[in-house]
Chain A
């Protein structure tokens, strides 16, 4: 293991962290409103606040279609979009666009299912007290679902770490890119091993930290 390799691994780790961080933020920004809409327009017995069956099923279909899109194809299809948004179709910044869009429908479903766990009785009580729909969402639904939302976030980040490895195909950089270009194509297995180990450590840290936060939230309830 030489100095050059260590530097390359560090650099790739930094790129992965940047990709994962920003795509988590953007996929949350996109997925949160969609997830909330999916939930509140659902059936009343499932805890829906403003049931609208048509809107709900249309939105649900769109989310499903986006979710079943293979990520590798999404990466290529979204090249023009990346060019418009970040001015380039290759590199770490460019990879954030397809990563965010690929993760958004996943985040939406995770948020929907977390909100579904909130006791409909509690929503009914808040409604009976004269809460507006907006208050029901941000003062009741989201705080009540916080532990489930937190474990959903953990899952999202871990998924994005996995996805980000594929972003190498459009020159996105990061650990996956390093593993493939050096480890596989140039026959230097030590790069492959190093990249995988760093990814494993990342996933482990996120999982443990996420579990701890959820546990702490639950202990205060």
Chain B
């Protein structure tokens, strides 16, 4: 299902949590919304998921406006979306199967159907035979799996993930993201993923919007944003990411003056050597690595260029000609 936000606004007193957000979330994709804490992510997801009403603006699911729904129509619409949370928000009074059954129970579905569907969902999320487990006996990853099964029980069109992996360790995060990706493809879901972790965007999302102080500062394909970040927040998120142990090797803590990003095919070519030979500039590499963004490979290199400003100018010019994206004062 395609989601469209038009000039959304929400204030809490003098705090402008969400100001003038317009966004198109294409159907059948995983869409990331990234922002730091306090950027307005949680408010935005509450507005988009009909948990809260905007002060101004519109929310559309396909060709239906949903932000002004009330009463029975609102409840009916909510039954066609799924949502998972950072703290899982499972019912402790019910076991795993009972949690998954809940959304079907409130729609008064047939008992025998519910029983079958619960078993089907348990195996879908890799928890066969764990239906009887009390919630407190499950690990964080298993809890999120139960929550995913619960969210998908009524075959929703949209799945909202509100910081769904923030309480999980990196390994569990990867397995949950893999599960969400798998289910997205299987069920043609539109997934909206709210997060403050760039890794989540990198590993799971196709498109991303960057949120700061209640506004969208950048939006586009994840591969494009990673290769060519324009806003300071995005660069900040990316620089945190480049410190991740498994994606880049940094052998000097002294910051390099330039950050180079190589896209796709260019990661295979000896660009730096070519430039060094052609211009006579010297390169001192501080850190480098390859990141996998979606299906694309992105080379990142932090370095200094010498020996003088004239060589710097020539080298930068040539690097740009090779299609390398350069960050740093030239």
Q: Which of B51, B76, B94 contacts A128 (CB 8 A)?
A: B51
A125 vs B136: C-alpha distance in the bound complex, in angstroms? 18
Q: Is the CB of A144 within 8 A of B92?
A: yes
Per the 8 Å Cβ criterion, residues 95-136 of A in contact with B are 119, 121-122, 124-132, 135
**Given contact pairs A146-B93, A221-B136, A125 touches B106 in the complex (Cβ within 8 A):** no
* Distance A1 CA – B120 CA, assembled complex (angstroms): 69
Contact of B87 with A121 in the complex, beta carbons under 8 Å: yes
**In the assembled complex, A171 has its CB within 8 A of some CB on chain B:** no
The CA-CA distance from A126 to B50 in the complex, in Å, is: 13
A122 CA to B90 CA, complexed, in Å: 6
- Chain A contact-residue range equals 20 to 34
A143 nearest in chain B by CB position: B93
Tell me if A216 is interfacial: C-beta within 8 Å of chain B: no
Does B105 lie at the interface of the complex (its beta carbon under 8 Å from any beta carbon of A)? Answer: yes
Q: How far is the CA of A129 from the CA of B104 in the complex (A)?
A: 10
Residues of A within 8 A of B258 (CB): none
- Chain A residue contacts of B92, Cβ below 8 A: 122, 144, 221
User: Is there an interface contact between A140 and B51, defined as CB atoms closer than 8 Å?
Assistant: no
Q: B83 interface residue, CB < 8 Å from A? A: yes
Bound form: Cα–Cα A126–B99 in Å: 10
Question: Is B51 within 8 A of A139, CB to CB?
Answer: no
A220 within 8 Å of B by Cβ?
yes
Which B residue's beta carbon lies closest to that of A44? B52
Residues of A within 8 A of B235 (CB): none
Q: Are B81 and A128 in contact (CB under 8 A)?
A: yes
CB nearest neighbor in A for B76: A130
As a 0/1 sequence over residues 146 to 181 of chain B, the CB contacts with chain A under 8 angstroms (1 = contact) are 000011000000001000000000000000000000
Query: Do A144 and B91 form a contact, CB below 8 Å, given A130-B76, A132-B75, A132-B106?
Result: yes
Contacts of A122 in B (CB 8 A): 89-92
B106 touches A128 (CB 8 A): no
CA distance in complex: A121, B92 (Å): 12
Nearest CB in chain B: distance from A150 CB, A: 12
Taking chain A's interface residues, is the majority helix, strand, or loop, or is none over half, making it mixed? helix
Report yes or no: B51 in contact with A130, Cβ–Cβ below 8 A: no
Chain B residues, CB < 8 A from A124? 51, 85, 89
B103 sits at the interface (CB 8 A): yes
Number of B residues, CB within 8 Å of A: 30
Cross-chain contact A125 with B75 (CB below 8 angstroms)? no
* Residues 144-190 of A at the B interface (beta carbon under 8 Å): 144, 146
Q: A129 near B90 (CB under 8 angstroms)?
A: no
B49 in contact (CB, < 8 A):
yes
Q: Which residues of A contact B50 (CB under 8 A)?
A: 128
Find out whether the CB atom of A129 lies under 8 angstroms from the CB atom of B85: no
Residue of B nearest to A129 (CB): B103
Q: With an 8 A cutoff between CB atoms, is B143 at the interface?
A: no
Q: How far is the CB of B189 from chain A (nearest CB, A)?
A: 16
Partner of A125, one of B79, B83, B105, B134: B83
- Please report which residues of chain A, range 20-40, place their CB below 8 angstroms from some CB of chain B when the two chains form the complex: none
**Set of chain A residues within 8 Å of B61, measured between Cβ atoms:** none
Per-residue CB contact flags for chain B residues 251-266 toward chain A (1 = under 8 Å, else 0) read 0000000000000000
Q: Are A130's CB and B102's CB within 8 A? A: no
Q: Is B79 touching A144 in the complex (CB atoms < 8 A)? A: no
In the complex, which residue of chain A has the Cβ closest to the Cβ of B147? A125
- Is B102's CB under 8 angstroms from A126's CB? yes
CB-CB under 8 A for A144 and B93, given A126-B102, A128-B49: yes
> A130 and B93: CB pair below 8 A?
no
Q: How many Å from the CB of B45 to the closest CB on chain A?
A: 10
- CB B78 to nearest CB in A, in angstroms, measures 4
In Å, the complex CA distance between A57 and B92 comes to: 31
Is B135 an interface residue, CB under 8 A from the partner?
Answer: yes
Closest chain-A Cβ to B108's Cβ sits at a distance in Å of 10
A140 to B90, CA, bound (A): 10
- Smallest Cβ-Cβ distance to A219: which chain B residue: B134
Q: What would 26 A/B residue contacts be, using CB atoms closer than 8 Å?
A: A121-B85, A121-B89, A122-B91, A124-B51, A125-B85, A125-B89, A128-B50, A128-B81, A129-B78, A129-B79, A129-B82, A129-B151, A130-B75, A130-B77, A130-B78, A130-B79, A131-B75, A131-B106, A132-B106, A135-B106, A139-B106, A143-B91, A143-B94, A144-B92, A221-B92, A221-B135
Other than A129-B83, A130-B76, A130-B103, give 8 A-B pairs with Cβ distance below 8 A: A121-B85, A124-B89, A127-B51, A130-B79, A131-B75, A143-B91, A143-B93, A144-B91
B contact set with A: CB distance below 8 Å: 49-51, 75-79, 81-83, 85, 87, 89-94, 102-103, 105-107, 134-136, 150-151, 160
Tell me the A residues contacting B by CB distance below 8 Å: 119, 121-122, 124-132, 135, 139-140, 143-144, 146, 220-221
Kindly list the 7 A-B residue pairs having the minimum CB-CB distance in the complex, ordered from nearest: A130-B79, A130-B78, A125-B89, A143-B93, A121-B89, A128-B83, A129-B103
